[in-house]
């Protein structure tokens, strides 16, 4: 029964439709993993067992009548606690919303239900998604399934843990500065940050329920899973305009068949203008590049002409300005103090603080930098299938207070730079990224991930590249002890 919980999502759905396993049996397998692991990991914070059991029984009864609800008929999965769920508590890790029960589903939730999914529960996140670790005063801290003394990352940390530990087949998270990719990297799962404008964020908190929407750039919804094929399935189901999120582009999903690995062209780098990256990650990326060359790929080491100080300031200013537009002055002061209190003088922090209190001219200047960096990265990627680069500067670090120094080998690094520093570039430019695990010599070593970056609107092609890469990097590896 336990092995059922670690099947790929698409295979679970196929087995249910073929009547090889029931939806109730699948749910029992996942709930068994929750029972065995959630006390020490604290990934699921609101379990909806009663309604999930009723939904699974309905799914089995429908199949007995010859009815198939959709591609996820009877498959159990989880939702980040930032997305509204009808009749199910949604807190975004925020004390003021600790008892908030929405009367509507976020678009991504409604689409998963329409595809036949069984919602098991909601997963933990930092308060209002404003951290790269997962902890809050409503539900406490989520632990990494590979080492409970270490962070799982954030803000979609609970979902990454649930997928890695077999408590969920698939998670829908969100990402405004690495929030899908950092937990994927730290927990050893696959994550997709799509091109901005592909998957609606309607019903996501923040913004606050009923308030005008302020955050209109850089944030995206996206899936976390144990295979690239499941990421593709999720994009197919979740993408497209919903009539609410007006930033959505009418880009239909298109199947892009994977080619032979040897036909792909890759850029790669472990060097972002002197930013520190651990020797372990550098070695893993260099090994990947050598393996791709040996497989017949065209591989070139190259770094784009990107000034990260400008990127971080612009990313921070856009985030600060748009988040600040949604909150009262007192909350704005508290948010500014939070980022000001972090150790080290980071351009990210300065940008956020400046954005919180900035002028319209500051905001438009940040948008101008966004346009410039978008064009530079598109030009850099022209003629190549993907660019391979680190997710963060280090593997998962031990739990600590937000804003403390991070260690990158023998060097101290400012907290936000060490976590959001590398992934935030692609939120600023809107490029799609697949985060996927790298192979490890020691099966018990901490996971390492790589960002696989593609051209804007080329999400389906990027997923095919990532799927081909698994010929070298290998499949998902289960954490020991789960």
Report yes or no: 391 and 331 within 8 Å, Cβ to Cβ. Answer: no
Q: Which of 175, 189, 178, 176 is nearest to 144 (CA)?
A: 189
Q: Which of 172, 249, 155, 241 is nearest to 206 (CA)?
A: 155
The CA distances from residue 400 to 152, 247, 423, 482, in Å, are 12, 36, 21, 24
- Unique residue bearing structure tokens 């770094």: 303
The length of the chain in residues reads 482
Side-chain-side CA neighbours of residue 347 (13 Å): 13
**Residue 171 — φ and ψ, nearest 5°?**
-130, 145
Which residues form the catalytic set?
80, 155, 179
Beta strands in 336-474 (DSSP E): 386-390, 406-408, 411-413, 433-437, 449-453
3-state secondary structure of 452: strand
Side-chain-side CA neighbours of residue 55 (13 Å): 24
The CA distances from residue 226 to 66, 230, 384, 470, in Å, are 29, 7, 26, 12
């Amino acid at each position: 029964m336990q092995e059922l919980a670690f099947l790929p999502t698409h295979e679970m759905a196929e087995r249910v439709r073929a009547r090889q396993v029931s939806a109730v049996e699948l749910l029992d397998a996942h709930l068994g993993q929750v029972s065995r692991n959630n006390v020490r990991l604290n990934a699921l914070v609101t379990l909806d067992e009663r309604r999930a059991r009723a939904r699974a029984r309905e799914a089995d009864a429908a199949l007995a009548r010859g009815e198939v609800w959709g591609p996820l008929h009877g498959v159990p999965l989880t939702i980040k606690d930032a997305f509204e769920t009808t009749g199910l508590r949604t807190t975004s890790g925020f004390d003021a919303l600790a008892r908030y029960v929405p009367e509507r589903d976020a678009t991504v939730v409604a689409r998963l239900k329409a595809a036949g999914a069984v919602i098991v529960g909601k997963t933990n996140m930092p308060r209002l998604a404003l951290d790269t670790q997962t902890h809050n005063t409503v539900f406490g801290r989520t632990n990494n399934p590979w080492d409970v003394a270490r962070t799982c990352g954030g803000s979609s940390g609970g979902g990454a843990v649930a997928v890695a530990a077999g408590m969920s087949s698939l998670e829908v998270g969100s990402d405004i500065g690495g929030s899908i990719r950092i937990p994927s990297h730290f927990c050893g799962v696959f994550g997709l940050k799509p091109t901005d404008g592909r998957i609606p964020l309607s019903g996501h908190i923040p913004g606050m329920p009923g308030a005008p929407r302020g955050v209109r750039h850089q944030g995206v919804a996206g899936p976390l899973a144990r295979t690239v094929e499941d990421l593709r399935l999720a994009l197919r189901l979740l993408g497209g305009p919903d009539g609410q999120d007006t930033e959505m582009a009418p880009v239909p999903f298109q199947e892009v068949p994977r080619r032979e690995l040897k036909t792909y062209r890759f850029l790669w780098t472990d060097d972002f203008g002197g930013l520190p990256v651990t020797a372990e990650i550098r070695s893993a990326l260099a090994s990947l590049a050598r393996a791709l060359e040996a497989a017949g790929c065209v591989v070139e080491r190259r770094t784009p002409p990107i000034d990260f100080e400008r990127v971080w300031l612009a990313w921070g200013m856009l985030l600060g300005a748009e988040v600040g537009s949604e909150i009262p002055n007192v909350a704005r002061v508290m948010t500014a103090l939070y980022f000001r209190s972090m150790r080290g003088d980071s351009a990210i922090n300065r940008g956020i603080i400046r954005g919180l209190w900035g002028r319209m001219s500051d905001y438009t200047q940040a948008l101008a930098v966004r346009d410039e960096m978008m064009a530079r990265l598109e030009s850099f990627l022209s003629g190549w299938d993907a660019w391979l680069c680190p997710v963060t500067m280090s593997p998962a670090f031990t739990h600590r207070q937000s804003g403390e120094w991070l260690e990158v080998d023998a060097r101290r690094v400012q907290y936000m730079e060490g976590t959001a520093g590398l992934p935030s570039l692609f939120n600023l430019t809107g490029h799609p990224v697949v985060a996927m695990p790298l192979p490890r010599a020691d099966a018990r070593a901490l996971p390492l991930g790589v960002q696989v970056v593609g051209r804007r609107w080329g999400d389906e092609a990027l997923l095919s590249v990532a799927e081909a890469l698994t010929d070298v990097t290998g499949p998902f590896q289960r954490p020991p002890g789960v």
